[in-house]
Amino acid sequence: MESSSEARDPGRNGEAVAKWVHEIAKERTDAEFELVDIKDFNLPLLDEPLPPIMGQYSRPHTKAWAAKIGSFDGYVFVTAEYNHGVPGALKNAIDFLFREWNDKAAGFVSYGGAGGARAVEQLRLVLAEVQMRRCATRSCSRCLPTLKTSASSSRLPTTRNLSMQCSTRSSLGAAH
């Protein structure tokens, strides 16, 4: 699963980047990949009455989000960097759940200020709290061109110089 994190940004460069990553990922034959966009789940600010660690979700949007996230063995988070951190929509989406993230692989593709490195740094800390297993870090600051206002897939590189290596037994991005 790739997760585009700019759910509420009208310029959404993340959608083009996520589609590019998804096309590369689909070339693998040892896993299945699905593009999941947070925007499609219309998650409000966390509104569950009980903490996610209890797993007693009461809202339909939370139940739908939990079912989707729970169906994967791993994730590739495609994220921008805003103000040295993770976009609010992504943090909120992670905070909605707990058990669904546990012991699953997490990889990262980031862009923005400093290549998105600070967003990934913050994201790694957040994911550790929901007990995810991170992939080894591969810096690829020159893989993506500088994205301006609306990125289109024609502006993204066609080279296959993006790679991720997992340090977990889970198959990154493989659906159950």
Write down the pLDDT at residue 7. Answer: 53
Residue 162 has pLDDT above 70, yes or no: no
More confident residue, 139 or 63: 63
Is the pLDDT at 171 greater than 60? The verdict is no
pTM of the model: 0.76
CA distances from 18 to 48, 106, 109, 176 (A): 28, 15, 8, 21
pLDDT digits (tens, 9 = 90+) for 126-152: 999 999 987 665 545 444 444 444 444
Average pLDDT over residues 62-87: 94
Query: Which residues, 6 or more positions from 83, have their beta carbon under 8 angstroms from its beta carbon?
Result: none
Residues of the chain with pLDDT > 90, as a percent, come to: 53
Q: pLDDT tens digits, residue range 83-95?
A: 899 999 999 999 9
Long-range contacts of 51-59 (CB under 8 A, 24+ apart): 51/98, 52/95, 52/96, 52/97, 52/98, 52/99, 53/98, 53/99, 55/98, 55/99
